[in-house]
Structure 1
Amino acid sequence: MTERPVIQQSEPFSWRRVGMTAAGVAGAVVATQAIFNRETRDSLSVAEKSYLHESFQYTGAGLALTALVARSMFKSGFAFRIMAANPWVVLGVSLVGGIGSMMGVFYTPPERTVQKHLFWLAFNACQAATLSPLFFLNPAILSRAALYTCGVVGAISYVGATATNDKYLNLGGPLLAGVTVVALSSLAPMALPLGLRGLAFTEAISLYGGLAVFGGFVLYDTQKILHNARLVEQGIKKPDPMREAISLQLDMINIFIRIVQILSMQQRKK
C-alpha cells in the first residue's frame, strides 16, 4: 500500500499581518528619528543627493542581482551541491572570492569602468553562491525577512541622511569592536566546550548583537557617503559610488541573515 505524499499548505494571505508589519516599520522610523536624530540638517546639497542616490542605486541593483543569481543557483541544484560539499572548502572559496572581488572594486580606479563592473559582478556572484542555500527555507520567512530588512535599513539610513554633518562618523571604532565580539561569539561554539546556557548566550550575542552592530554600520556608512560627496564636490576625492554601495550591501545582507535566523527560531518554537 503506497502512502500519499503530504502536501504542505502555505499560510493564507493576511492583510492584518501586512498592516501590522507596515505599522511596525512606520513606528520604527518615527522612534529611530526621535531617539537618534533630534538635531537634523536643513537639507542635502545637490551633490550630496546625487551621490547618495547613485550609491543606493548600485546597492539596490547589487541586491537584486544577488537574489536573482542565488535563486537560479538554487533551481539548478547548485545550492544542494554546495551544502553537500566540504563546508570548510566552500567557506574558504566564498571568502577568498568575495574578499578578492571586493578588493578589486575598491582599488580599481573609477575611470576603468569595465574592469570595475566586472569585479562588481564577480562580488555579487560570490554573495549569491553563499546565500543560495537560504532558499531551502520557507519562502514566507525569506519574504518577511526581506521586508523587515528594508524597513530597518530604510529607517536607519534616513536618520543618517538627515542628521547633522559627520554626527555618526565617530562610530567607526566602537562598531569595529562590536563586530569583532559578534564574530568571536559566532565562532565560540566551535572552539569552546559550552553548555546549553553558554550556547544560548553566544547565539543571542551573534544574532541580536549583530543586528545592532550592522544597523550601526548602516548609519555610519550613510554618513560616510555624504562626507565623501562633499569631498567629491570640493575636488579632493574622485566619485566612486560603487565602492560606497558595497559597504551598504554587506550591511543589509548581514542584517537580512540575522533576521532570517531569528524568524526561523521563532517558527521552530511554535
Structure 2
Amino acid sequence: MFRVGIVSSIRPLSNPLIVQVAARRFQAPSFRSFSQLRPNVLATLQRRASPLPSSGFKTQSRTFLTDSAPVVVRPTQAQAWRRYGITAATVAGTIIAVNAFFNRETRDSLSAAEQAYLHESFMYAGGGLGVTALVARSLFKSGAAVRIMSANPWVVLGVSLVGSIGTMMGVMYTSPENKVLKHAFWLGFNVCQAATLSPLFFLSPAILSRAALYSAGVFGSLSYIGATAANDKYLYMGGPLLAGVTVVALSSLAPMALPLGMRGLAVAEAISLYGGLAVFGGFILFDTQKILHHARMAETGTVPRDPMREAISLELDMINIFIRIVQILTMQNRKK
C-alpha cells in the first residue's frame, strides 16, 4: 500500500516537460503586447510614401502577413475520426491479446458475494478517481498548481507523503462501522492525490484525454482478466511486484538525489516509465484477485467487509499508469 507516496506524488512536480509548458503559458501576454505594435509600424511605413500607391501597398502588406502557411495545422474531420478509429482498434486489440495471453484458464462464474464485493470496490475506485479529477481541475483554475510547482520539491514531496500516507492509513485502519470518519479519510486521500496531479493540466487536453483513454483500456482489460482468471492465480505476484515498485521508486528519485550523466538519466527515466507500466499493470491483476480472495474470507467472517480499503489499491494503480502514459505521450509529441 505504501507504493503511492514516493512514486506518484513527485512525478507530476518533477517532470521538466510540464515545467516548460507552464513557463510558455506564463510568457503568453508578452507576445500579445508585441503583436499590438505591428499596425503602428505599417502605418509609419505607409506614410513614408514609397513609389507604390497606398492601395497597392495595403494589398501587398496584407498578402505578406496572411498568405504564409499556418504554424499549427488542424486535422480535418475525416483525419480526426481516422485517428479515433485507430486508437479504439488499438485498445480493443490490446484487450483481446492480453486476455488471450494471461487468461487461458478461466474460473467458474463469480458468486453473488464476490460480485457484490467487487462491484462496490470498483464503485469506490471510480468515485475516488472522479473526485480526484474534479479537485485537481479546480486547483489548477484557482492557481494553486502554480504555487505547488514554484515551491521546494522536497517540501512538496514531504507534505504529499504525509498527507497521502496518513489519509490512506486512516482509510485502512478505520472500522467500516465508523462510516463518517472512514469517508472523511477517503475524501482526504483523494484531495491529496488531486493536489499532486493538478500540474498535469498545464499539458495539452488532447494528451490528457488520450492518456485517460489508454489508461482506462489497460485498467479495464487487466481487471477483467483478474476477475475471470482461476482463483488465486496471480496472488503469488505480491513479492515480485513489491520489489519492482521499489526499483521504480528509486529510479524516479535518482535524478533528484544523484549526479547522474545523460545516459544515467535516460536509463533511470526508462525504468521509471516502462518498468512502472509493467509493475502497476501487474498490481491490477494482483489487487483484483486480492479483492475476490477477501470477498470469500469476508463471507466466512474471517475478515471484515471493507470495499473502500480495496478501492484505494485500485486508485493507486490507475493513477500511476495514467501518469506514465501522459509522460510517454508528451515525449512523443515533442519529437514530432
Give CA deviations for 1:5-48 in whole Å, capped at 9, x if unaligned: 99977666611111111111111111111111100012111111
Q: What is the correspondence of 1:38-57 to structure 2 with a 5 Å cutoff?
A: 38-57=104-123
Alignment correspondent of 2:281? 215
Equivalent of 1:137 in 203, 206, 210: 203
Equivalent of 2:313 in 236, 247, 256: 247
Structure 1 segments, 4+ long, off by >6 Å, are 5-10
Question: How many residue pairs align between the two structures?
Answer: 270
Q: Aligned to 1:235, what secondary structure does the other structure show? A: coil
Equivalent of 1:196 in 256, 262, 265: 262
Alignment correspondent of 2:229? 163
Alignment correspondent of 1:151? 217
Equivalent of 1:24 in 87, 90, 103: 90
Which blocks of at least 5 consecutive residues in structure 1 are unaligned? none
Q: What is the correspondence of 1:56-71 to structure 2 with a 5 Å cutoff?
A: 56-71=122-137
Q: Residues of 2 paired with 1:68 and 1:12: CA distance? A: 31
Q: Residues of 1 paired with 2:223 and 2:229: CA distance? A: 10
Q: Which has the larger radius of gyration?
A: 2
Q: Residues of 2 paired with 1:31 and 1:62: CA distance? A: 29
Give CA deviations for 1:84-116 in whole Å, capped at 9, x if unaligned: 122221111111011100000000000000000
Q: Residues of 2 paired with 1:34 and 1:18: CA distance? A: 24
Q: What is the correspondence of 1:167-182 to structure 2 with a 5 Å cutoff?
A: 167-182=233-248
Q: Residues of 1 paired with 2:282 and 2:210: CA distance? A: 21
Q: Residues of 2 paired with 1:120 and 1:96: CA distance? A: 15
2-11 or 69-78, which moves further after superposition?
2-11
Q: Residues of 1 paired with 2:72 and 2:181: CA distance? A: 47
Alignment correspondent of 1:36? 102
Indicate whether 1:111 and 2:199 are aligned.
Answer: no
The alpha-carbon deviation at position 189 of structure 1 amounts to: 2.1
Alignment correspondent of 2:8? none
Q: Residues of 2 paired with 1:243 and 1:2: CA distance? A: 55
Amino acid at match of 2:324: R
Q: Which TM-score applies when normalising by structure 2?
A: 0.77
Alignment correspondent of 1:3? 35
Amino acid at match of 2:312: I
Q: Residues of 2 paired with 1:166 and 1:2: CA distance? A: 65
Alignment correspondent of 1:93? 159
Amino acid at match of 1:42: D
Alignment correspondent of 1:257? 323
Return closer, same or farther for 1:194/1:134 CA change in 2, 3 Å cut-off: same
Indicate whether 1:73 and 2:139 are aligned.
Answer: yes
Return closer, same or farther for 1:4/1:56 CA change in 2, 3 Å cut-off: farther
Q: Which TM-score applies when normalising by structure 1?
A: 0.96
Q: Residues of 2 paired with 1:7 and 1:76: CA distance? A: 31
Amino acid at match of 2:35: E
Return closer, same or farther for 1:60/1:10 CA change in 2, 3 Å cut-off: farther
Q: Aligned to 1:49, what secondary structure does the other structure show? A: helix
Indicate whether 1:187 and 2:219 are aligned.
Answer: no
Q: Residues of 1 paired with 2:71 and 2:335: CA distance? A: 22
Q: Residues of 1 paired with 2:147 and 2:190: CA distance? A: 19
Amino acid at match of 1:103: M
Q: Residues of 2 paired with 1:119 and 1:10: CA distance? A: 45
Which blocks of at least 5 consecutive residues in structure 2 are unaligned? 1-32, 38-69
